[in-house]
Structure 1
Amino acid sequence: MAEKQKKAHAIMISMPYQGHITPFVSLALNLASKGIAITFVHLESVHHKLSKPHHKPDLFSDARQSGLDIRYATISDGFPLDYDRDLRPELYWTALLQTLPSYVDEFVGNVIRSDPHSLHFLIADTVYVWPAAVARKYNLLNVAFWTSPALVFSLLYHLDLLKERGHFLREDDEAEIDYVPGVGSLRIRDLMSSLSKRGDVTGNYLFKAFQEVKKADFVLHNTVEEVESDTLSALNRYQPTYAVGPIGFSGTSNVAVSKSLHAEVDITKWLGSKPAGSVLYVSFGSVVQTSKGVIGEIAHGLRLSEVNFIWVARAHLTASGDADVLPAGFVEEVEDRGLIVPWCDQISVLSDPAVGGFLTHCGWNSVVESMWCGVPMICFPVTYDQPTNRKLVVNDWEIGIDLGDAATLDREGVAEKIRILMSGDASERFRREAGKVKQMVRDAVEADGSSVNNFHRFVIDLDKKLRST
């Protein structure tokens, strides 16, 4: 078979968390719409959770019927299917990083042997440490997909600098960091938890992962060039870098694929009964856990604020694992203006005219979706990249307000911040700035927008390199 007739084939593997799965699925659809074959790999545990609410044995069956070449496969993570991976997410994550590489190695080898006529390449989550070794073993091009902002990537990429300057694992420090290429000034409190907290198990692991990502052939970022231009420009000096976000709103494929790990409650009717801009949406994402005390202060703050709200109070919201974490009597007291649900379609909620603000943990998917909808935010980061995402929202883009942290949180302060965001002069300013960011983000995925052009450039560059190696 002539080289030019061989089809490019991506083997895609994401981290098994909602914030990673969602952009990975969207990237797969976008690549398939460009004629690239995809083998999308889920962990068996993720497939089990996805198939339960959506009742589909193959998550990409509709995509294939529409003509996209997306194959679907599952691999084990080494744990029994009934093991509760959400109860202690950091413990599971640590163990996963040790058990998964051997399963991936075996799977990739089997795929290549079963299809020797395709031009295989790897697209893996940047936080994994094994992609470079697997790519080298099987002579594959290695594409790293980063699902958080470029700022976080750059800080992790330059961990050696942070260590040299003594800014790695320095807690409660307002020291200024102003030496990272392409990154403006920030403080220790703006760093990811894995870089600023002693005892966080992920710091040294991420250092190793980012030593490995420097060996990638290409790096894709789920961000927008216009909102992180200096950082992306600096990173592009090291290796080919492409801002292709927000990937979930980009591309030509209109195929719906199940992404949510939880069954969703339809709250359209409830939102329809509320005035425009009057509802605060509250969600801490799909993974992070906080304390019952924090939940209590936020609940009382919502009560004192007297605003309408929707609160996603999912299972395992606290590390205690308690099914009922809300204060006694809270639900009854706010039932005329508050709706408590276990999960919902976040983008449809943020898109609703009734929603005027978002109290968020600042996970990147949540931030991007809020930007897309022009909804200003109240930021309460808990862990991972969330403190750095808050810095972007509050300080750089000025589309949100900082709620503080668990140590300083109190109900009166929560109520005051809610009122500031939802009404008055400051609210108008936040909404105006959020509208500007919304326009930039949406322009990026229009025809001839920066993300569309970057994605097209990546596909061309990828094809050239595949056929030259």
Structure 2
Amino acid sequence: MVNMEKDGQKPHAIFIAYPLQGHVIPSVNLALKLASKGFTITFINTECVQHKTSKARGGGDGDDHDYFAGARKAGLDIRYKTISDGLPVEFDRSLNHDQFMNSLLHVFSAHVEILVGKIVKSEPSVTCLIADTYFVWPSTIAKKFGLLYVSFWTEPALVFSIYYHLHLLKTNCHFACHDKREDPIDYIPGVSSIELTDLTSYLQDTDISTVCHQIIYKAFDQAKVADFVISNSVQELEPNVISALQVEKPFYTVGPIFSTKSLVATSLWSESDCNHWLNTKPDGSVLYVSFGSYAHVSKEEIVEIAKGIQLSNANIVWVVRPDIVSSDEVDPLPDGFREEMGERGLIVQWCRQMEVLKHPAVGGFLTHCGWNSIMETIWCGVPMLCFPLYTDEFTNRKLVVDDWMIGMDLCRRKRVTKDGVADNINRLMSGKEGEECRVEIKKVRKALENAIAAGGSSDRNLDRFIVDLTNRTAAKPHRI
């Protein structure tokens, strides 16, 4: 096991997290992991994420709250800074998604460049810039200040590879073509075959000129010249695609990157404690329902899902985020739903997901297929009912249902209906298909457990990254 502090070396990484909940969580946990290996970390959050996180903890406006105070008390060398994303803190980013993305595309880099310059000037020992792959500026800024650029990928390696080889999709007319092909894609290195409907939502869109498409194009131009890529995946889960990527890039899978007891509070909403209610329910009788931290669901879909839940035999814990339909929608659930569910249902705005998933009463998870949720669910051994909504979730669904067979589809390529929802919930919770998923998920969970154990693939890959980073640093000319 490599520990830089013991070896008398102490690399210093500036770490910048993408300002969305699903990216902040693995970024924080990777920062903690690297700090535990002897790194000095200067972690940069946006003022908005800082504000919402502190407010969720009951800290008032909370702008002075030190994110990593607990980590430093535990002996980790993590400094913390915040920066504007170019918009006022109170601006509703959920309701104004495109404006938010435009700010990250066109404005944020100016704030980053100024702050990184100040850190480098005051801390000349800075080694590298670790930044989320979806940023459009890391390589440019790292080069300006003489730093190595480490791209942090928070989704499966399969999605990285698809975006990385976007030029092949264009050349073969599966993307950005007038006469787009619809046959399976079989030419991406390490990917045997993938259907067009299993690509990310952006690669299925007809309008490919949106701000999010621009971000993807620019971000992967940057990723292609990254010095290293760290991925929140596991070698054993995606062996072929990861091996193919490692031929092209220094690509290190170190997942799953999460913590059951984090030293840092990362939730953007106040978390309800569900244990008291769960303790009253029989083992395996509760379906946990959550559609993540950012994607929206239509009012019609929410109503059909709610009616399907009522028709099913399951108890439920349902996370209904305040802005799940729209920031202007006060309560997206059907009239009378809460009352009719009675003791069968617990509706909360947010919760400690890992705590809920590992409770014996929970027997299934109706999920949007966010990558963090998938990793956490596998770890807790809970089969999934998949309802992808956005971005990588369609590709993640393929891995869960088709490749690993640890989940089922809620309504694959069909309209959501209450009868279909009820039927699939019952099949997952008490049917033969659900039982088969439980058998398979135990095997996949074992792969995760082995990967992060001492000497496992993720443990070795993290140590290899540190050694390779150290060697590159030693070979790199010193900044003047």
**TM-score per shorter chain, which class?**
over 0.9
Matched, 1:377 2:384: yes
Match of 2:16 among 13, 16, 34: 13
Q: Distance in 2 between matches of 1:154 and 1:296?
A: 36
Match of 1:310 among 317, 333, 346: 317
Deviation at 1:409, TM superposition (A): 1.1
Deviation at 1:255, TM superposition (A): 5.6
1:18-69 C-alpha deviation (Å, 9 max, x unpaired)? 1100000001111111111000000011110111122371010111112111
Query: Does structure 2 retain, via aligned residues, the 8 Å contact 1:169–1:197?
Result: no
Matched, 1:106 2:78: no
Mapping of residues 21-420 of structure 1, within 5 Å: 21-54=24-57, 55=59, 57-116=65-124, 118-168=125-175, 175-199=183-207, 201=210, 202-249=212-259, 256-319=263-326, 321-404=328-411, 408-420=415-427
SS at match of 2:389: coil
Deviation at 1:256, TM superposition (A): 1.4
Deviation at 1:405, TM superposition (A): 5.8
Deviation at 1:424, TM superposition (A): 2.1
SS at match of 2:187: coil
Q: Distance in 1 between matches of 2:469 and 2:330?
A: 48
Deviation at 1:184, TM superposition (A): 2.1
Amino acid at match of 2:47: E
Q: Distance in 2 between matches of 1:128 and 1:52?
A: 26
Query: Does structure 1 retain, via aligned residues, the 8 Å contact 2:43–2:79?
Result: yes
Quote the RMSD (CA, aligned, Å): 1.8
Deviates more, 1:194-203 or 1:323-332: 194-203
Amino acid at match of 1:128: F
Q: Distance in 2 between matches of 1:138 and 1:380?
A: 43
SS at match of 2:236: helix
Deviates more, 1:172-181 or 1:432-441: 172-181
Q: Which runs of 5+ in 2 are unaligned?
A: 1-6
Q: Distance in 1 between matches of 2:9 and 2:289?
A: 49
Query: Does structure 1 retain, via aligned residues, the 8 Å contact 2:319–2:350?
Result: yes
Amino acid at match of 2:150: V
Match of 2:471 among 454, 459, 464: 464
Deviation at 1:415, TM superposition (A): 0.7
Amino acid at match of 2:192: G
Q: Which runs of 5+ in 1 are unaligned?
A: none
SS at match of 1:226: coil
1:432 corresponds in structure 2 to 439
Amino acid at match of 2:432: D
Q: Distance in 2 between matches of 1:424 and 1:42?
A: 45
Amino acid at match of 1:443: N
SS at match of 1:461: helix
Deviation at 1:407, TM superposition (A): 5.6
SS at match of 1:414: helix
Q: Distance in 2 between matches of 1:233 and 1:28?
A: 25
1:57-113 C-alpha deviation (Å, 9 max, x unpaired)? 101011111211100000111111211112233431233221101111111101011
Q: Distance in 2 between matches of 1:275 and 1:168?
A: 48
SS at match of 1:413: helix
Query: Does structure 2 retain, via aligned residues, the 8 Å contact 1:380–1:403?
Result: yes
Deviation at 1:6, TM superposition (A): 6.5
1:210-229 C-alpha deviation (Å, 9 max, x unpaired)? 12101011100001110001
Query: Does structure 1 retain, via aligned residues, the 8 Å contact 2:94–2:327?
Result: no
Deviates more, 1:320-329 or 1:141-150: 320-329
Deviation at 1:172, TM superposition (A): 10
Query: Does structure 1 retain, via aligned residues, the 8 Å contact 2:85–2:103?
Result: no
Q: Distance in 2 between matches of 1:90 and 1:268?
A: 38
2:4 corresponds in structure 1 to none
1:251-292 C-alpha deviation (Å, 9 max, x unpaired)? xxx761111111100010111111111110000001001210
Query: Does structure 2 retain, via aligned residues, the 8 Å contact 1:191–1:385?
Result: yes
SS at match of 1:104: helix
Q: Distance in 1 between matches of 2:445 and 2:180?
A: 33
Amino acid at match of 1:195: L
Q: Distance in 2 between matches of 1:312 and 1:125?
A: 27
Query: Does structure 2 retain, via aligned residues, the 8 Å contact 1:119–1:466?
Result: no
1:121-147 C-alpha deviation (Å, 9 max, x unpaired)? 100000111001001111110000000
Q: Distance in 2 between matches of 1:414 and 1:91?
A: 34
Q: Distance in 2 between matches of 1:396 and 1:428?
A: 17
Q: Distance in 1 between matches of 2:222 and 2:32?
A: 27
Query: Does structure 2 retain, via aligned residues, the 8 Å contact 1:149–1:389?
Result: yes
Describe the shift of the 1:30–1:74 C-alpha distance in structure 2 as closer, same or farther (beyond 3 A).
same
